Chain A
């Protein structure tokens, strides 16, 4: 037999392709979901950026004025020796380094600095608008501690701006200046006073003493407003990542693999609740030896929502945050969070309070490797992982998942608390499920995503008595009953009536054919056929399984896509395609079509 003869001679009477990139539903389908829902889209957003060159090498590329030295090799905030020491000369001038850049939008300039000799301030300047003599914003930072002072040139008074300084590792301050404007250049200066002369391009001049010095490290300029650090040398850093988007109510969700970009089809999920009430706030309900820096980086949504969970200065101890919620008794809960390494490359998630087991589960944020228990790390682009752990609650009371940030994959103890290294996090979710569903954003209260409901009503297409189908799908929990599709009558429908394909069975009018367990989060292709006295099914090109007790159904007029006829037992996954045939197919056809 030739290969082409393995295919059926008849054509499918219904062909639904949800993964053709068109992101449109066939007009014959009805789709509803009574709330918003999130999905991984095909769109990419700017995920991380640094527009400065030589971000930690201030004696290369950067121009300088009024400095007798700016050499490297000094202790930096991360425990390395990359900081550069700016020593002012004795001239009556400005004492600074600078470089010209091009940026637009919400521009954040971030520099780590500390006093080295004397009591000089740090000044950061961003040129705005056309970069004229009055188009600038300057912030000065007291490196002995305090609140930055900001001054604005007369050409930049109408733009929004902010500044902040936060004590970081090694006595350095993380100093940030943010402006809502395009920028033409940045200056990193030493200064003895806090207010620049208005007509001098924002520069602060004074007579140096030839000895005062500050140490400077890790500079960054970001057009998203983010202040996380990404090192550069001769090229700027700019990374894009797939965007986790929010679909409005009743809008279908067509998802894409965040790594390959391949279309995964129509996302169909059951109703689900995020029991954690503040999904983008890593502060938690308790914690120890950690600092939270809010909204410092772009998260998977493409917005400035990611917090840094940062070590404090405690050595030889663990550093964690707790996330508590009210649990039901004896229920499987899945905790999930989007995380990215930011100096620390590991987290550990532990079901801590009110669970039947309390393992320490470690996640390597460089490789995605999981050790110590039943956890999953899903890469979602640009170093971000969605890490999840499931656990069974004991009683109906407060439950707590604990998130440790650490620098190794075997213990939560960190030898050196350097106040600098961190893990970026956002998208906290706790749901009563054995696997994480799409993120349900919360702010102040837990939130419930309504179920996806997708149906096609057509007696001519579906009420053929005997017939066949081919479908491709994946599901998040293949160990649970999950309906890929269910074709059934609309009046007098039952869960076992009509024709259905689940994670394990082909059911025709109450007769089950077991095709064995399938795999979670893996796309499968199934081809099935039914007629009086025979129902057959092949999965992934495998051997055909057959039952001969089949009595064909009648009156079938509704195709439920990704759910049972009553909306229950959702596939909780993607449907790539469905083809319906009005006649039964041969075993050879089924084996071929399911490949």
Chain B
């Protein structure tokens, strides 16, 4: 199977969720079998390989030899997600969120940086 790796940047979690997930009912009240009423919803990925990153570090924290933090890390603004798009998935909705980091903080297993 062929893959396309995308690094995505969203303004915040809400924006990412609206693009990457769909809420679907998973449990119903079947009191009226002809009109079941959803009672529980779950978020389902729109793309199978969706990987939400933690905060992206611009400048790492520094530590003394005892492991105490001397300076805190500096984080980049935004909400970052990696998607490995399968050949049968249409990722056009993701186009406006693509970024190309020089040094990705996270890759898919087996990907060697710089190659």
Contacts and interface: CB of A to CB of B under 8 A. Distances in A.
Co-assembled chains A and B = yes
A174 to B, nearest CB: 24
Across chains A and B, which 4 residue pairs bring their CB atoms closest together, nearest first? A36-B110, A286-B63, A35-B109, A449-B109
Contacts of A326: 54-55, 57, 73
A445 B104 CA distance: 7
B51 A34 contact: no
B84 A287 contact: no
Given A34-B84, A271-B49, A448 B110 contact: no
Contacts of A449: 108-109
Contacts of B27: 496
Nearest to A289: B65
A369 interface: no
B50 to A, nearest CB: 8
Interface string A432-450: 0000000011011111111
Interface string A317-339: 00010101011100000000000
A366 interface: no
Given A273-B51, A285-B63, A286-B63, A246 B110 contact: yes
Given A286-B63, A440-B109, A449-B109, A250 B51 contact: no
A441 B109 CA distance: 7
B64 to A, nearest CB: 7
A398 interface: yes
A35 B63 contact: no
A66 B74 CA distance: 64
Nearest to B65: A288
Contact of A353 (B69, B73, B86): B69
Interface in A447-467: 447-451, 453
Contacts of B109: 35-37, 440-441, 447-450
Given A353-B67, A400-B67, A448 B113 contact: no
A35 B111 CA distance: 9
A287 B112 contact: no
A35 B112 contact: no
B66 interface: yes
B107 interface: yes
A524 interface: no
B69 A34 contact: no
Interface in A474-515: 494-496
B106 A445 contact: yes
A457 to B, nearest CB: 15
A111 to B, nearest CB: 32
A271 B65 contact: no
A428 B25 CA distance: 39
A396 interface: yes
Contacts of B64: 286
B74 to A, nearest CB: 11
A34 B1 contact: yes
A58 B59 CA distance: 53
B26 A496 contact: yes
A357 interface: no
A256 B69 CA distance: 42
A155 interface: no
A32 B112 CA distance: 21
Interface in B21-36: 26-27
21 contacts: A34-B1, A34-B108, A273-B51, A286-B63, A286-B66, A287-B67, A288-B65, A322-B67, A326-B73, A327-B54, A353-B69, A400-B67, A444-B103, A446-B105, A447-B108, A448-B107, A448-B109, A449-B109, A450-B49, A453-B48, A494-B26
Nearest to B105: A445
A402 interface: yes
Contacts of B105: 445-446
A352 interface: yes
A47 to B, nearest CB: 24
Contact of B107 (A37, A246, A275, A445): A445
A249 interface: yes
Interface string B72-115: 11000000001010100000000000000001111111111100
